[in-house]
Amino acid sequence: MSWILIGGIVLLLALFLLGLFFNSSGALVIAQEEKEGIEHETPEEIAKEVEEEERVNKEILKEEEGNYHSVGQYEE
């Protein structure tokens, strides 16, 4: 029975210290700010952001493919 009590105390202490770590790291505050930011955006704004990100990703991909092919030409 004493081992169960000691294990419970250690578990509670670990959870308490983990809570202090997340609180001090600011992770909880950042998560709350992100949640509030998402809640205030309209679906249209989110769709525009996604489209913009996809466009940028396509440009980066095209640029990387162009660099890959140009490197292959020099190796031949």
- The tens digit of pLDDT for each residue in 7-39 reads 999 999 999 999 888 888 887 788 888 887 777
Q: Is residue 62 part of a domain?
A: yes
Tally the domains of the chain.
1
Q: Is residue 15 part of a domain?
A: no
For the entire predicted model, the pTM comes to 0.40
Q: Which tokens hold the place of 9?
A: 């105390």
Q: Which tokens hold the place of 58?
A: 């396509």
- CB-based contact 37:43 (threshold 8 Å): no
Percentage of residues in the chain having pLDDT higher than 70: 87
Domain coverage including residue 66 = 41-76
Q: Which pLDDT band, with edges at 50, 70 and 90, does 62 fall under?
A: confident
Q: Is residue 8 part of a domain?
A: no
Q: Is residue 6 part of a domain?
A: no
What integer pLDDT is reported at residue 68 of this predicted model?
Answer: 62
Residues 6 or more apart in contact with residue 28 via CB below 8 angstroms:
22
What integer pLDDT is reported at residue 6 of this predicted model?
Answer: 95
Q: Is residue 47 part of a domain?
A: yes
- CB-based contact 10:17 (threshold 8 Å): no
Please report which residue ranges of 26-42 form alpha helices under DSSP H: 27-40
